[in-house]
Chain A
Amino acid sequence: MPDQPVRTPDRLLARRTFLARIGVLGATSAVATAIPATTLARTSQAAPAAPAHPDTASVTDAALDRLLDLLRPVLSELSRDTLSGLVVMTSPGPDRFSAAQGTPRPEPGAIEAGGTDFIIEALDGFVPFPDQLSTPLLAALTTALDDTGIALPTSLNTLLLGQVATLDQALLVILRNDQTLPLSLVVALLLNLLATQVNPLSVTGVLSSPFARLSLDEKCRAFELLEGPDADLIGLLDANLPEPLRDSLSGLLRFLAGALLEFSAFGSYNEWAVFDRQTRELTARPVGWELSGYQPDGVVHGWDDFIGYYQDRSEVGA
């Protein structure tokens, strides 16, 4: 785990841009006034050794706790919006995410099929993703800087640098200390990072997530970067990986790119959202069944589709 970064103004400017790119800055603007400011180090050279734990920095514990309470729902909303932006790639419908990607459809789609919750539940509850890979990814997201000089719109420039430092500190706590790893949040932040690489203007807009603001074509370009995987992305992420795992990273990103789309497709068309675990029955007709005409009268135990044997041959010789 890398040390707590030094909080100098230059660094914080770059960090602020990064937080904007992964969607955190925009999403938190609503609670911005509640963010207390951290005292900044005087110069980068003279900065004291970084504290070992993120939560021992210069905002009081009580203030940080209050902020965390405010931040958690905001970040979970950010993940939801981002992953909604993902699932509508595989089944656009009448929702605002499909509209935002430029492919509105009248009939139900991924959102109505519960695709967002499907993917969040899968990522957070069940993906047996080893900490050894997720920890460095988290570290990258919580320490990375953006000095590409993307100009932030004024709406994202309202936080004082001290507040940015606090926000950053809180993010670190949420990503590192929560009981279960919020893999959905990690994935969302990653998608947002790629989104702002594809289209820097996506840092602001109507929805809370940069990725969800992209057109379908731009989302595909973001996936191109993930799947490539893009050298800049690798460079950003692998600095934190222990040596034996460096090789695994590009493979992991390729795997992730595929898996996110495959899982979105599976979840957007299967019965997950309307399955009652207690009775093991459906509570309504799944969206995917309705769209595809599958099992018009529900589950059957047989079909009358036995035509016979090809050329009437029901057995063959050696």
Chain B
Amino acid sequence: MRDVIVIGAGGGGPVVAKELAGRGLDVLLLEAGPRHADPDSEWTHLENDANNPLTGFLRFGPQDRGAPAWYRETPQNSFIWQLSGVGGTTQHYFGNCPRAMPGVFTGYDGADRDAYDTAHLFPFSYDELVPYYEWVEATLPVQTAAMGTKESVFFRGCEGIGLPVQTTKTTVEDSFRPQQNAILQPGGWAGKVTGRDDPRLRYPESTGCTFCGYCMQGCSMPHGAPRNLAAKRSTDNSYVPMALTADAWADGGRAAELIADAYVTRIHTERRSGETVATGVTWRVGSTGEVHREDAAVVVLAGGCTESPRLWLNSALPNPNGWVGRGYTDHFFDWMIGLFDERTESSKGAASAARADFPGRGGMENVGLTPGLQQFAAVFSDSGIRGHHTNGRAPKGPWDGPAGRMIGPELKDALMNGIDRLLNILVITDDDVEAHNRVTLSALPADEHGPVPKVRFHQRRRSARTLANREFVARKAAEVLRAAGARKVVRVDWPPLLLHVQSSMRMGRSEDDSVLNADAEARWVKRLFVADNSALANSLGGPNPTLTAQALATRTAEKIFSTYFGGDPWVAREAPTVSTDARISSRLADVVG
């Protein structure tokens, strides 16, 4: 019998595991995918080897790379970009850590208070979350992004359209800024030399981000750095190492146990004094097919926005208002490509180190990619093929020609202009929680873990506010690219790309349209908490979700500790340990071996 079992070692799960291990609880962290304990021997810096969604080492599938990836039904043009493995989808995230818009919380009283998804606010105030933001920002840590050439081009565009600079963590007006990101700032030779196997690029001659440009291929730079000193603070480099070494850095801490290749297939419950109570889980070992069951005082579900509803439904847990899996938000992204005559160095440095925000509308950020992914992004469209067919859409605006995917000579010429002579802007929409965008169980055959999830997005029937916001930000993105000097601007009009995922098991003020109460405990199952992005009440107004999910997970860890283990909250009265702490590095050397 464990104190706590956490399901899923992605963006959220390890936060709860680390915090509660730090309090001395007996924590078991179960992860469906591989461990990737030794990136040097398991990873490369090559995009197909890394990111091929079917075969890459960063994919959503079992530990055995020879076995097929896990199929999920998406009955529309769309793409779910989630990863299995320790670190989950943060393994290839960009580390951007903006705070949510204050307007998406209860109690916000700014002049723009009606501009947000006011029907689905967080059930508490922004101020209440701030100490948890600060705690996570200090732990990861979150810092101001270093600037490379591509950021300077982005900033020039933002200056050119007259946007002011934001110099605070909380966003209060339309503005641009370097990202606050979970990427260690470059130190020593990092960012100052180009090379391979150059001793100056090895730790400790270099510390932090070496500007290698492989955020999306998983971060283990600089070479030779202990895992918890890798530049990008994906949870495999930050929270997981802390959870595994809690006895080394926390007074009275107890190291959490991590089991990878362990797919949870069921959450168990029983009836106790008229209530349904979570009692433990069953998981299946990928490599052997063996099945294990363990009990726990508290179960924490953190499989991500697509998988958490699936496990809930497969466990036949109660769903009286039908909101399990509903209200899925994805920032209804779009993609704008600007082609330049000058060099932008798009493939170098942190993938996305600059942003602009438009409260009540959404935001945007620059993104640099490798050649194959660049072309993937350029043909991922819901508007047919530029100049050939519209698929019923193909909007026009301050970009060149109708929106749509490039093809043939145009597509090739765009890349031949130079991967380092373009600038991509990701359009991030402040989108509404809508019941019809949802996860259900597919009618297709079950896999070895039960019925598979089906993710339905009605991209053409989204709320008027969502659609208007997307058009607003898309125009801004095109204007920024032009102001920065782009010779040609292409709007791709992406179908749903599910990687900023939120709110599919949302917490909310009303019992009628939420699954979790304000403590992130399931309304209908006691001792079951949700600690991934699905617990978020809404799409945060557009900011990238992971920091907020991690702040919320920290708060949830406190709620668990005080509600079920008789402890006191700590965030208000203690100082956090930073995840780069030397005690973690030296203990890691023992536990990883």
Binding site for B on A (CB under 8 A): 89-92, 101, 103, 105, 107, 109, 122, 126-133, 216-217, 220-221, 223-224, 227-228, 244-245, 247-248, 250-252, 254-255, 257-259, 261-272, 275, 280, 282, 286, 288-289, 291-295, 297-311, 313-318
Contacts and interface: CB of A to CB of B under 8 A. Distances in A.
Given A227-B77, A258-B495, A300 B405 contact: no
**Most chain B CB atoms below 10 A, which of A220, A267, A298, A300:** A300
Contacts, number: 279
B409 A128 contact: no
B168 A316 contact: yes
Given A122-B54, A282-B46, A306 B155 contact: no
A257 B349 CA distance: 33
Contact of A301 (B68, B198, B380): B198
Given A275-B46, A305-B349, A310-B178, A258 B412 contact: no
Given A130-B71, A266-B376, A269-B375, A306 B146 contact: yes
B84 interface: no
Contacts of A291: 371, 412, 415-416
Contacts of A303: 148, 191, 194, 210-213, 345, 348-349
A109 B495 CA distance: 27
B431 to A, nearest CB: 20
Contacts of A101: 408
B54 A245 contact: no
Interface stretch (B15-23, B274-282, B383-391): B383-391
9 contacts: A255-B76, A267-B372, A293-B419, A301-B222, A302-B191, A302-B195, A303-B210, A310-B177, A318-B130
A289 B212 CA distance: 16
A57 B191 CA distance: 70
Contact of B151 (A257, A289, A310): A310
B384 A310 contact: no
A179 to B, nearest CB: 15
B147 A308 contact: yes
Given A265-B378, A291-B416, A300 B194 contact: yes
Nearest to A288: B371
A270 B206 contact: no
A90 B407 contact: yes
A109 B412 contact: yes
B454 to A, nearest CB: 8
B384 A247 contact: no
Contacts of A221: 388-389
B47 interface: yes
A223 B151 CA distance: 37
Nearest to B419: A292
B562 interface: no
Given A220-B388, A245-B443, A266 B373 contact: yes
Contacts of A92: 408-409, 412
Interface residues of B, number: 97
B201 interface: yes
B180 interface: yes
B444 interface: yes
Contacts of A304: 191-194, 211
A103 B412 CA distance: 11
A271 B169 contact: no
Contact of B155 (A109, A280, A310): A310
Nearest to A246: B443
Contacts of B354: 310
B212 A302 contact: yes
Contacts of A261: 379, 405, 407
Given A288-B415, A318-B168, A318-B170, 17 more contacts: A89-B408, A128-B68, A224-B388, A254-B75, A261-B379, A261-B405, A265-B375, A269-B372, A269-B415, A293-B418, A293-B420, A302-B201, A306-B211, A309-B147, A310-B165, A314-B143, A316-B180
Interface string B63-88: 00000111101111111000000000
B316 interface: no
Contacts of B408: 89-90, 92, 101, 103, 216
A292 B191 CA distance: 22
Contacts of B196: 297-301
A302 B169 contact: no
B268 to A, nearest CB: 28
Contact of B443 (A217, A248, A259): A248
**Most chain B CB atoms below 10 A, which of A262, A298, A311:** A262
A197 to B, nearest CB: 14
B110 interface: no
A79 to B, nearest CB: 18
A250 B75 CA distance: 8
A248 B444 contact: yes
Given A128-B71, A254-B77, A224 B178 contact: no
Contacts of B48: 266-267, 270-272, 275
A314 B144 contact: yes
Contact of B167 (A132, A254, A265, A313): A313
Contacts of A131: 445
A294 B371 contact: yes
B71 A90 contact: no
Contacts of A305: 148-149, 191, 211, 345, 348-349
Interface in B167-196: 167-170, 177-178, 180, 185-186, 189-196
Contacts of B391: 224, 227-228
A303 B200 CA distance: 12
A294 B167 contact: no
A81 B186 CA distance: 49
Contacts of A244: 443
B191 A217 contact: no
Contact of A302 (B79, B165, B194): B194
B376 A300 contact: no
B221 interface: yes
A247 B380 CA distance: 23
A194 to B, nearest CB: 13
Contacts of A286: 371
Contacts of A217: 388
B168 A317 contact: yes
Given A126-B69, A130-B444, A302 B409 contact: no
Contacts of B190: 302, 306
Contacts of A126: 54-55, 68-69
Nearest to A102: B408
A302 B198 contact: yes
Contact of B211 (A259, A295, A302): A302
Nearest to B376: A266
B195 A301 contact: yes
A76 B539 CA distance: 47
Nearest to B407: A89
A91 B198 CA distance: 35
A314 B194 contact: no
Contacts of A269: 371-372, 374-375, 415
Contacts of B191: 302-306
B45 interface: yes
**Most chain A CB atoms below 10 A, which of B185, B197, B211:** B211
Contact of B45 (A245, A299, A313): A299
A269 to B, nearest CB: 4
B347 interface: yes
Interface in B416-437: 416, 418-420
B223 interface: yes
B550 interface: no
B370 A270 contact: yes
Contacts of A255: 74-78
Contacts of B412: 90-92, 105, 109, 291
A227 B389 CA distance: 10
**Most chain A CB atoms below 10 A, which of B186, B347, B408:** B408
B155 A292 contact: no
